[in-house]
Amino acid sequence: MSLEIKVRNIVSNFEGTSSDEFLEILEQIMLEFKSDLTVEYLKGKVKKIIELSSESEKKKQCKLLLPYYDWYLQGL
């Protein structure tokens, strides 16, 4: 399955996606971003989310990062 299809699946079914899967795909699309600042920002956010103990809190934080999936789909 291509990365684009995985991203589309997560965007269309965010609630059915685990935070681990969301972050794994986010790390893959981060490589496509041209701005080092954006990549560093996202790496920091991912690290903080991983450190959270509650899956529901992880999901809340992941939801805030959904626009990066949209940017990826729009061709950055």
Contacts of 59 (CB under 8 A, 6+ apart): 19
Helix H or strand E segment including 68: helix 66-73
Average pLDDT score over the chain: 94
Helix H or strand E segment including 59: helix 55-63
Confidence of residue 1 (pLDDT cuts 50, 70, 90): confident
Confidence at residue 76, expressed as pLDDT on a 0 to 100 scale: 52
Query: What domain count does the chain have?
Result: 1
Q: Which amino acid makes up residue 59? A: K
Range(s) of the domain holding residue 38: 3-73
- The pair of structure tokens assigned to 57 is 């809190």
Distance of CA 50 to the CA centre of its chain: 12
